[in-house]
Structure 1
């Protein structure tokens, strides 16, 4: 086990809470920061995150706060656990309190709209890319409620500096949570973001009850197109064949706990996009990510027909059945 440290976890959602629990189980002191004072008070009073992770008790080593300065007092690392579209706003608020050389590990999975930056790139942009600040991303099949129940999970961590990846690996690894290192930070973050788009498509198929053959084809061809984008951007193809890619993709496409798949399923059952979003419990990262991924596909010349179809369903109000027909009637070609 790694030497005991004091870590702050920025974000009180499901994954942030799980990270705080695992760090505390490993003997580290943890400050769990919430953007909202009332939520922080409730978390501290209840000793569990009843809103995002009911039933998972916070260890005594976890202290909850909404005070920006207190979050960073004496800490040696930060975990950024806020949704991708909120990373910039949260860290703009916190930037003046964050030590210039503090290493930060992101667990967000998405691409910022407009800038098309990955979460670690947003962090570098907001915090000024201070010399000596190392950044990492922890990703892979890790649905928070399962991890909170200590069910086995395997993930990867990649970083701007190899020793930070090894450090994070040691900090959060548990008997039920196995962490591998990966040298491809770009690929890990792109895989984590793009799989959410394919998960929405998987949910739509579930809602329409079109069968397992369709879903298997979707996962296979979905992996092909997200790999194509990643490689065009400079990522390693092997990353998409590992935990950050196919591993996370499979989990997100089959789990009833995944918000992106559940959102898609609601659309497949006939709900409108707005109705499906209203029914979701938490942020559906894949919606905003779909817009960003389409922009990246155009920038890098990557053909992504499934992502294009999901974009049409969400933003152009195309009926799911029409989008499926369009995909199935594309010109025949070699795999």
Structure 2
């Protein structure tokens, strides 16, 4: 693939790791952010110490504060910003772009209030004459491992297979590999909803439970994620793939996962506001729990783990009581879908 110019919007841990992947592949990478100190650090010291203590970035990766400069002449734009600001940033991009680009996103969440998936938000806010069909970059991946070039396999999902293949070629190398998928609904819902289950898995660990409980919450969590996703129009097979069970395993079992760590802290009795303050990063699973609970109520989808986490976070129920109620009340056939 010839050298491409890529704008990475969001200098968080995952945005930085993906910027390095693209740079490793010989592309011109521009990172945009709105925290001056962070942008200056990337340009001057070639570090992003808020997320990576010992990583030196290639000096060819340039960070920008001005969105117009970032987007000038780029071939593709990668959104890696928190769910709650995706619409705002998309509006800014739409107002700034003066040519058509490939639009990708690598965030995982559902918009509070509207319940919309992120690709839908990007489609709504960026006019069709300025963008490709949106490509979702999602799957089992910790930024802490990708940044040190650990082996990583994830998914590029789009309704336009040719654009998905472009993104596949853009990112793929000897340590980072993308598989294409046309089930955008499945890939996005899997990526968003697994964060809820990761909070639950972390909570079980914080409460002192072992591997049996971990396996139970991950397996039953996959079942309820699939139930809701299929109701929304997804292919159930997607949840058996990288963006489904793969992402659920990596997020629901690792201390690298901020959602798992948040659940672990809640299980140990810490207050939510303290957990969020100490994390220093967005915990998508917290806001996604509320959105998923509301969708499940609206569509009458059985989601006991999501409901248990919701009651703990938003209704003040003791998290141990909430989870034990869920475990003791679920007398069902394993293959029930409703």
Q: 1:230 aligns to what?
A: 229
Find out whether 1:285 has 2:284 as its counterpart.
yes
Alpha-carbon distance in structure 2 between the residues aligned to 1:169 and 1:327: 40
Q: How much does 1:329 deviate?
A: 2.3
Residues 1:270 and 1:102: Cα distance change in structure 2 (over 3 Å): same
Residues 1:231 and 1:133: Cα distance change in structure 2 (over 3 Å): same
CA contact (8 A) 2:201 2:260 kept: yes
Structure 1 residues 107-136: Cα deviation after superposition (integer angstroms, max 9, x where no partner) = 000000001111111111222444753211
Q: Which moved more, 1:273-282 or 1:233-242?
A: 273-282
Q: How much does 1:261 deviate?
A: 0.3
Q: Which moved more, 1:36-45 or 1:319-328?
A: 36-45
Structure 1 residues 84-126: Cα deviation after superposition (integer angstroms, max 9, x where no partner) = 1111122223321124522111000000000111111111122
Equivalent residue runs for 1:46-65 within 5 Å: 46-65=45-64
Q: 1:120 aligns to what?
A: 119
Query: Partner of 1:190: helix, strand, or coil?
Result: helix
Equivalent residue runs for 1:69-148 within 5 Å: 69-99=68-98, 101-130=100-129, 133-148=132-147
Alpha-carbon distance in structure 1 between the residues aligned to 2:231 and 2:153: 27
Find out whether 1:17 has 2:16 as its counterpart.
yes
Alpha-carbon distance in structure 1 between the residues aligned to 2:186 and 2:129: 23
Alpha-carbon distance in structure 1 between the residues aligned to 2:141 and 2:131: 29
Query: Partner of 1:48: helix, strand, or coil?
Result: coil
Q: Which moved more, 1:126-135 or 1:312-321?
A: 126-135
Alpha-carbon distance in structure 2 between the residues aligned to 1:331 and 1:6: 51
Query: Partner of 1:57: helix, strand, or coil?
Result: coil
Q: Which runs of 5+ in 1 are unaligned?
A: none
Alpha-carbon distance in structure 2 between the residues aligned to 1:271 and 1:66: 36
Alpha-carbon distance in structure 2 between the residues aligned to 1:331 and 1:14: 37
Q: How much does 1:63 deviate?
A: 1.1
Equivalent residue runs for 1:319-330 within 5 Å: 319-330=318-329
Using structure 2 for the length normalisation, give the TM-score.
0.96
Q: How much does 1:312 deviate?
A: 0.5
Q: Which moved more, 1:275-284 or 1:8-17?
A: 275-284
CA contact (8 A) 2:195 2:285 kept: yes
Q: 2:156 aligns to what?
A: 157
CA contact (8 A) 1:14 1:144 kept: yes
Q: Which runs of 5+ in 2 are unaligned?
A: none
Q: 1:212 aligns to what?
A: 211
Q: Which moved more, 1:291-300 or 1:232-241?
A: 291-300
